Each structure stands twice: as structure tokens, then as C-alpha cells.
Amino acid sequence: MSRIRIIPVLLLRKGGLYKTVRFKNAAYVGDPINTVKIFNEKEADELVVLDYNASLDGSAIDYKKITEIAGEAFMPMGYGGGIKTLEDAKKVFDAGYEKVVLNSILFNDISLIEKIGHIYGAQAVVCAIDVKKNLFGKYKTYSHSGTKSTNWTPVEWVKQLEANGAGEILLNSIEQDGTWGGYDLELVKLVAPAIGIPLIVCGGAGNTGDFIKAVQTGASAVAAGSMFVYQKKGMGVLISFPTGFSI
């Protein structure tokens, strides 16, 4: 049996934690500090914190808040949101994070991957892509929290990211986000064979069976949000984590 790498993804906005459904209808779920403390107790493998509105509204990174969050964590942490320059990335690493997550900025400056990787190593650079189908049923990659179509297919874009030094890919299905309906396995089947670096899939997990299906389809690791912050779909907030889960 092999252990599955499981990553809770926490959405940060103005100091609080939120959860979206298909990247919309953000609902407040709690305080990030208390949430990280609970994930410490439950021995989560690692955490990813994303300020999902930073690129959309152009807000500055809240270094004070993300430093406080990292200071409570006993596990590796990744941060994304509003990172536009090497200096931004340096400040995130100095705040206590092992990885940076890059997304929208890469459509304007893909060289940022190599700049960061040259100093901190490729393993410290996670490139996130947000994907949904267009009106013709074709997968397209979106930027700025899913609001702007880039005309890149996910396969084309992940190949570009890997060629420019990405250490990992975080593949997020916009249509499955927050639905509890399972990962988009069709999308995983397309992307996984196209790259030789780890693929983390996110968007739609509703139970541990979804983790197994994703890994069997080609994912290297799995990430989720709603499943870890709610009791069940449509029910109240309850932080949880499936410790020691393997296949």
C-alpha cells in the first residue's frame, strides 16, 4: 500500500477563510490561525493558503497575516496570491513558507518560475492552473480567479510551465470547485500524461474514494477545500482530515 499525499487548500480573503462554489458565492468559514492549529493536531501532510482575490483586485500581499499563519503551522506550507515579482516571492519564503504558488502572473511573466527556482529550487515553485470548459465543450485555462479566458488548453499550458521550470502543477477544476461531486477525471486523464512533474488535482472532492480515483487516474497528490472545512455538503463548518489514508 502507498500513502496518498493529501493537501487542504485554504482560501484567504481580508484575513479570514472562505470557501467558494465554482469560484463564486464565497462563504466565510472561520479564522485561519485556529484552522491551522486544528490541522496541526490532525497531522495534515501540508497546507496551501491562497489569497484568491489578490490577483483579481490587485491587492497587496498581507505579509503580517500570512506570517502569523505560517508561524502556527507544524507542516510544510505553500502560499499563493498576489505574487508578481521575485522580491514578492522572497518575502513569502521569509514569512515561513516552503513553496510559492503562481498562477495569473505567469501569463505575463513566465520567466518568474525560473527566477524563483534558481534561488529556492524547482520544488519550491507550484504552478496552479484553473480550468473549465468553454461553450463548445473544450477545456480552456483561465486566469484571475477564473474570470479571464487565456485561450490556452490545459495540456498546452502545463507543458509550457514544466518547460520553464515548474516543480509541481496544481490543477483546479472551476466547474467542480465546491460541488462535492468528485474530481474531473476526464481532465486528469488529459493532463497527467503530458507532464513529468507531480500533478496535484483539486476541485470537487467529496470523500476519500475520490482521492483513490484521482491517483488511479494519474494524479500524484490530491487537494481539497470543502471536504476539510465542512461536516458535509450543506452542513456547518467542521475542520477535518483523513489521517494515515493510503491505497
User: Domain for residue 246, yes or no?
Assistant: no
Secondary structure (3-state) at 31: coil
What ranges make up the beta strands (E) of the chain? 6-13, 16-21, 24-30, 47-51, 77-80, 99-102, 125-133, 139-143, 148-149, 168-173, 199-202, 221-224
pLDDT of residue 99: 98
What is the biggest distance separating any 2 CA atoms in the chain, rounded to whole angstroms?
46
pTM of the entire structure?
0.94
Which parts of the chain sit beneath pLDDT 70?
1, 234-235, 243-247
In a domain, 114, yes or no: yes
In a domain, 237, yes or no: no
Active site residues: 130
Residue type, 194: A
CATH classification at residue 106: 3.20.20.70
Question: Which cell is 40 given?
Answer: 496541526
**Structural domain span for residue 58:** 6-229
3-state secondary structure of 37: helix
Residue 217 lies in a domain: yes
Question: Angle formed by the axes of helices 86-94 and 63-72, to 10°?
Answer: 40
The predicted pLDDT at position 230 comes to 85
The answer to whether position 190 is within a domain reads: yes
Q: What pLDDT score does 60 carry?
A: 87
Q: How many domains does the chain have?
A: 1
Burial of 116 (C-beta count, 10 Å sphere; 0-12/13-18/19+): buried
Could you report the per-residue pLDDT of 129-179, keeping only the tens digit for each?
Answer: 999 998 889 999 999 988 999 989 999 999 999 999 999 999 999 999 999
